[in-house]
Structure 1
Amino acid sequence: MKGILGLLRPAARSAAPSAQDTTFFTTAFAGQGVDAARLVPWEARAVEVGASKLSRRQGGRRLAQLWAQDATMAVLGSEAIERLARFCLFAHVPAGREVIRQDEYGNFMAVVLDGTLAIERQHAGGEQQRLALTQPGDILGEMSLIDSGIRFSACTTLSDCEIAVLSAEAMDDMMDRDPMLAASVVTLLARKLSQRLRVIGARLSEQRQ
């Protein structure tokens, strides 16, 4: 986190960010030694799951409504969320589609705007464990976007869903064009991720007792 924010601070002061500043997220996987052939971008996943586009106006309005009710993300404020929506893609995904796959590398995150997804993890012995069901406003896949690691769990649509997608390329664009917004988004995503991991950790601990 400190490394990310450190990159954002120079960008905020400079009118001409360096290449390192503006390609931090898109190059992070290569920096971790991940073969590009193993990286699944949203464009490829969208085709695979049969996603169709939603208008940015419609999707952005829904995102603002949901995050205004979220204690963590509401800190951004309506004007910042509107700016954030300009960097997002909005899509409709049919039921029964795996938007995020466990143990893959993916350089995008998604916000649930409507519908329900199951968050599940398959253990080494083949046991499939359901960790949670999503609600509108929930964030999926931000861990891999932030740390360039493999996906911890799979996220499958149980109904027709609408999602907002934020890619690594869009994050780099945000760092270049609106660095203060990017800093706020990364900080709040890390906070949301920490909260969710604590809940999942407590649940797993209870199930093992």
Structure 2
Amino acid sequence: MQPPSHDANDARSADDPQAGRGARPLTSSPALAELATELLVTSAAIGELSADEAACVVGYMGLVGYPAGATVLREGDAGNTSYLLLILSGEVTVETADPVTATQVPISVLGPGNVIGEMGLIDGSPRSASCIAATPLQAAGLTRKALQRLIDEQPKVAARLMVGLCKRLADRLRGLGEQLQIYSRLNTTLQQQLDRLAPRSR
């Protein structure tokens, strides 16, 4: 299963100003292409893919870089959602805005092998969180345009990729549901303790 050939326009991902900024075909760097192939098959990324399928997907990806402190994804951005990124090196801090104070609250730190931005790639919805480069970052980007080419040219691989992405989102939602249950139990316990401490009405 051979990766596709790229022309300059595909490599620059012109439909995507963020993912296309300074992008070149990932296959132009054999070492990074091999690294991306290895990372894609891990459970942190798209565990549904075989090594050959991952190599095929890598053929449709571009290589991008961000300096430390750069905003990689911005929460609420609805106009720049047509790509995902596979982190190759470096770390990003995932943050979300506190609805009360409007300050940014760190959620997690993600490193090599993690995928960010997949929800926007799939449904075009606004970014659900901000991702800030905590260190200099190298990533492999897959744009919606490149995904459409993958669907047209390698439909079986594209189907496996989409299944893997959907499972990632399902796992994330399942984890969120479990967290909400824990918070609910903690809130109930706290309220019971407060009720015991409150003076009895006469």
Q: What interval of TM-score do these two structures reach, taking the shorter chain for normalisation? A: 0.7 to 0.9
More helix as a share of residues: 1
- Contact 2:15 / 2:145 at 8 angstroms: preserved in 1? no
Q: Which of 16, 34, 53 matches 1:42? A: 16
Amino acid at match of 1:154: S
Question: Residue 117 of structure 1 is aligned with which of 77, 92, 99?
Answer: 92
**Counterpart for residue 66 of structure 1:** 39
Matched residues in 1 for 2:157 and 2:173: separation? 24
SS in 1 for 2:99: coil
How far apart, in 1, do the equivalents of 2:135 and 2:59 lie? 26
1:71 Cα deviation after fit: 7.0
8 Å CA contact 1:96–1:159 kept in 2: the answer is yes
Aligned residues with identical type, % of pairs: 23
Q: For 2:183 and 2:134, how far apart are their aligned partners in 1? A: 24
Question: What is the distance in 2 between the residues matched to 1:203 and 1:128?
Answer: 20
Q: Identify the residue that residue 107 of structure 2 maps to in structure 1.
A: 131
1:147 to partner: Cα distance: 1.4
Deviation at 1:120, TM superposition (A): 0.6
Paired with 2:112 and 2:137, the residues of 1 have a C-alpha distance of: 9
Q: CA deviation at 1:128?
A: 1.8
- Find the aligned partners of 1:141 and 1:116 in 2 and give their Cα distance: 15
Asked if structure 2 preserves the Cα contact closer than 8 Å seen for 1:56 and 1:89, the reply is no
Alignment RMSD, CA only?
Answer: 2.5
Q: In the alignment, is residue 154 of structure 1 matched against residue 130 of structure 2?
A: yes
Residue 173 to residue 163, structure 1, CA distance change in 2 (3 Å):
same
Distance in 2 of aligned mates of 1:154 and 1:111: 15
**Which of 179, 182, 185 is the matching residue for 2:155?**
179
Structure 2 gap ranges (5+): 1-13, 188-202
Higher RCO (CA-CA < 8 Å; seq separation 6+)? 1
Kindly indicate whether the alpha-carbon contact (under 8 Å) linking 2:47 and 2:164 is maintained by their aligned counterparts in 1. no
* 2:77 counterpart of 1:101: no
Match of 1:75 among 43, 48, 55: 48
